[in-house]
A and B are shown apart, each in its own frame.
Chain A
């Protein structure tokens, strides 16, 4: 009991450090740097400590200090309670959604089985969707409670867009669940040990629908009409400043990490290296490291592989963000209801038929 608690606390601290301590601040810098590279600029490289610039990495630190010392602004007519509650509701699901995502397999370490997931829930992926649904409240409340025209329009657009894409997103991964027969992400990850059983080969259409819906759900370009700087100033978070603004911004980056992790787990073999099974990895390492050392090394390799894949999909989302222009609102809604929803229904019907016939 106590050992279980210590183990899960260790995993929580690890994931919390990686997400909130590493990904969230670094991604802000990565996004600026990538936009600079793609637009042929030099980019964020000015912040320095005693002359060391560390290729601009100190900008995250500078941003944190600057935003922490900014005035916390609440408009005079705003509903102060909901105005404060909105970033809270936006950030909490974004941080805790990672709890059910496995970042490694199962290992036998000193006679104790370690399952590298914070909570191996039987509802699995539904937990993520439930929390993604909660994030809608944060956005809509932020837009409504600010009592500003820009914010209200942004909140309205966000409500319709996020609700619509949630439906198509939920249906897009039904194919994966049919194929692997489980909602548990650990089961789905373990089923992809064989390279040719990866989700992307079995459900290519599902992957495209899921990725599109997830980016739309996260309100990033090309689906950033709730924020649309050129139309709505900053959309639903126009009236936010200081750390409350950072919370929306952090929620967006953490959702990006979560989306990448889900895509990795469902479609790209989770923690597996192509053509290398867990048993092969263990037998290679046990030659020189002994059984416990081999398990620890395999664990480290699998975690590294998992986060390398996650980083790749974060890069992909950032590339999409700096490549495509923003869609019009009617285009966004048409794409969801008239293309993605029928397509995901057809995809799940055909998947079911093929699985039964084979």
Chain B
């Protein structure tokens, strides 16, 4: 049997559980709607700031770093599995790869992109 069949069954069971919970909470329970209640939580006041405002560019930077370094991680995984077969050749190659990315990390660090203030 394909090993992914149990995974699919598990995913289906999880999705059914989650959907069941959402359906239960939608059907059971009172529904009394009035304008003041439907406002987002702001300690009883009406919100004065629209959340659709701009936010710090730092978050975009973190997303960019994530892409770079997560792809690095993706490349390191197969190397780690085949580590003993690749031996010194693989080790040196991977050290060069990690060194290049470490230079990138040091550059980002020195430019202050990792500072939060």
Q: Which residues of A contact B (CB under 8 A)?
A: 1, 4-5, 8-9, 11-12, 16, 20, 67-78, 84, 87-88, 91-96, 98-100, 118-122, 126-127, 146-152, 156, 159-160, 163-164, 166-167, 170-171, 174, 177-178, 181-183, 233, 238-239, 242-244, 246-247, 329-330, 333-334, 337-338, 341-342, 345, 348-349, 352-353, 355-356
Contacts and interface: CB of A to CB of B under 8 A. Distances in A.
Given A341-B105, A356-B88, A334 B116 contact: yes
Interface residues of B, number: 65
Given A12-B6, A152-B51, A352-B83, A147 B40 contact: yes
A119 B6 contact: yes
A75 B116 CA distance: 32
A125 to B, nearest CB: 9
Given A71-B32, A151-B40, A171-B73, A181 B81 contact: yes
For the complex of A and B, list the 3 residue pairs with the smallest distance between their C-beta atoms, beginning with the closest. A243-B25, A148-B40, A330-B116
B86 to A, nearest CB: 10
A170 to B, nearest CB: 4
B47 A148 contact: yes
B109 A333 contact: no
Contact of A8 (B1, B59, B80): B1
Nearest to B67: A163
Contacts of A167: 65-66, 69-70, 73
B40 to A, nearest CB: 3
Interface string B8-33: 01110111011101101110111110
A120 B3 contact: yes
A5 B73 CA distance: 35
Nearest to B49: A149
Contacts of A20: 17
A149 B42 CA distance: 8
Nearest to A254: B14
Contacts of A100: 7
Given A119-B4, A177-B81, A330-B116, A233 B10 contact: no
Interface of B: 1, 3-7, 9-11, 13-15, 17-19, 21-22, 24-26, 28-32, 35, 37-42, 47, 49, 51-52, 55, 58-59, 62-63, 65-66, 69-70, 73, 76-77, 80-81, 83-84, 87-88, 91, 94-95, 98, 102, 105, 109, 114-117
Contacts of B62: 159-160, 163-164, 333
Contacts of A243: 21-22, 24-25
B66 A164 contact: yes
Given A177-B81, A244-B25, A239 B35 contact: no
A71 B17 contact: no
B12 to A, nearest CB: 9
A156 B29 contact: no
Given A70-B25, A181-B81, 17 more contacts: A16-B13, A72-B26, A76-B35, A88-B22, A91-B14, A118-B7, A122-B3, A148-B51, A156-B55, A159-B63, A164-B62, A166-B66, A167-B66, A167-B73, A177-B77, A330-B116, A337-B114
A187 to B, nearest CB: 10
Contacts of A174: 73, 76-77, 80
B40 A146 contact: yes
A246 B94 CA distance: 44
10 contacts: A9-B9, A12-B13, A71-B29, A92-B15, A119-B5, A122-B3, A127-B7, A149-B51, A159-B62, A356-B88
Contacts of A94: 14
B101 to A, nearest CB: 8
Contacts of B105: 337, 341-342
A70 B4 contact: no
A121 B11 contact: no
A166 B71 CA distance: 11
